[in-house]
Amino acid sequence: MKKIIIDPVTRIEGHAKITIDIDADNRVSDAKIHVTQFRGFEKFCEGQIYSQMPALTARTCGICPVSHAISSIKACDTLLGVTPPQAGINLRKIINLAQILQSHTLSFYHLSSPDFIYGFDAKKEERNIFKMMQTHPQMAKDGIMLRAFGQKIIQTLAGKRIHPDGLVPGGVEKNLDEATRDTLLAEIPNAIRISQESLAFFKTNLTKFQKEIDSFGVFPSLFMALVDEHDNLEHYDGKLKIIDSEGNVLQEHISPEEYKEFIGEAVEEESYLKSPYYKPMGYPQGMYRVGPLARLNVAKACGTARADNELLAFKALNAGKPVLNSFYYHYARLIEMLYAIEKIEALLKDEATLGEALHRTSKILKTRAVGCSEAPRGTLFHDYEVDKNGIIQKVNLIIATGNNNLAMNAGVKQVAQTFVNAEDVTEGALNRVEALIRCFDPCLSCSTHALGIVSSNIELRDHNKNIIQIFKRN
């Protein structure tokens, strides 16, 4: 009985290690991802004034600060009893979608595409972004261009690319003028071209990865996401909907304020990452998935023409039932990128977007509020309690990556059992274990509210949890 440890795990956002337990028959008995960082945002936010929360919580992460700012300002809106003007809502939606676009682009082009181009068994030195620049320069350029477009929108509308300060309770700080709007609209056709070519590339190459498709986190689970009033894809507003692996609706029309009735948060000894679960089914049976795969499984349609076309093909993968293969997170992510660009275009063309974008107010009307939005990696909750002066008394954050913790662990175990041979641990097998995690595109900085370091290790352990071998991953 021995144990394999992958530490650090590479090409993810944050620090983690993976342990693989080997039994006496040299078979994988268990595998787990351990998130080894801690920062304690929920605690040190206590005592701060509510208006600091968007800026403070955005510092949780350098990749998705916008998502935290969006959930935070929505919670602050509720504390103040303010409804942003339509322009403010539209601009927030555009900024949120730009964040999803730039984050998904990073995940696909910079972190995962080397696996799709060179295969999971390619040598490490030939399976990276630098090799990709040499062999697929246009694709590398497209990745840069698309991410830059998302960043430009955030910078233009919210002030800065990273940790923007234009997202505030009551709306956004700056109105959008026609000239700026037209500048952004001019870049839409190229962004759509890139997005469609990326989808075509991915779909064309799918046949090469049938074994990974069939073994990367394929299991029944629940799926949770926000949807709009027509059950369509929604990233900014809407109600929570939870379905099972057959597509049966377990909960719908849930207001995010009620999340505690349905979501429990378990803590495991070996990880700083919390394990949320669907309360009515208990822990750990109430495992659910969030993020692009869950959103496309839960939504009936995207609501934009090109993305809806792609969604039809996506839903056909499992004859209209929820797609259970975690490998298809990548596929869903690419469809969401296309959707985000189309939706940004529609929102920019909406004349209401050019109106006054901010209602200013500062009187606390409520002492508890929940802000919820769909971040790139899934549903994000900011739950604040304040006193009558707006001083934060209590904070609870449920982060997208945390929602997926149970599913990531189940997936790691499945991949390890499929590919890891304890007598001959290959680079390809270890890369696949990591690649399963990359399907979920976890942001460990966010989920543990921890410092962002991109690295992880894999540990091989015996049945007594003694380390037999450690595989350093960078």
Partner 1 sequence: MRVIIGYGNKLRGEDGFGIDVIEALQKQELPNTKLLSTMQLTPEIVLELLEATHIVFVDAAFSQTDHYALACSREIQKDATLSHHIAPQTILMFLSTLYEKEPTYEIFSMLSANFDTIEDKRSYQRSLNAVVAYLSILKS
By rule CB under 8 A, what count of residues binds partner 1? 33
Nearer to partner 1 among residue 369 and residue 450 (C-beta): 450
> Binding string, 338-357, against partner 1, x = CB under 8 A?
--------------------
CB of 61 to partner 1, least distance (A): 9
CB of 268 to partner 1, least distance (A): 26
Residue 83 has which token pair?
């409804």
Can you tell me whether residue 110 is helix, strand or coil? helix
Q: How many CB atoms lie within 10 A of CB 88?
A: 26
Nearer to partner 1 among residue 131 and residue 306 (C-beta): 131
CB of 194 to partner 1, least distance (A): 13
- Residue 420 CA to residue 110 CA, distance in Å, equals 26
Q: Which residues in 129-141 are b (16+ Cβ under 10 Å) and which e?
A: eebbeeebeebbe
CB of 180 to partner 1, least distance (A): 18
Rule CB under 8 A: which of 103-142 touch partner 1?
106, 110-111, 124-125, 128-131, 133-134, 137, 140-141
Which range binds partner 1 by CB under 8 A, 253-261, 361-369, 411-419, 447-455? 447-455
Nearer to partner 1 among residue 137 and residue 282 (C-beta): 137
> Binding string, 13-52, against partner 1, x = CB under 8 A?
x---------------------------------------
Contact 230/253 with Cβ under 8 angstroms? no
> Binding string, 136-175, against partner 1, x = CB under 8 A?
-x--xx-xxx-xx--x---------xxx------------
DSSP conformational letter for 124:
G
What lies within 8 Å, CB to CB, of 309 at 6+ separation is: none
Q: Nearest-CA neighbor of 12 among 47, 46, 63, 65?
A: 63
- Residue 180 CA to residue 327 CA, distance in Å, equals 38
State the SS3 of 192-223: HHHHHHHHHHHHHHHHHHHHHHHHCCECCCEE
Q: Which residues bind partner 1 (CB under 8 A)?
A: 10-11, 13, 59, 62-63, 106, 110-111, 124-125, 128-131, 133-134, 137, 140-141, 143-145, 147-148, 151, 161-163, 452, 454-455, 474
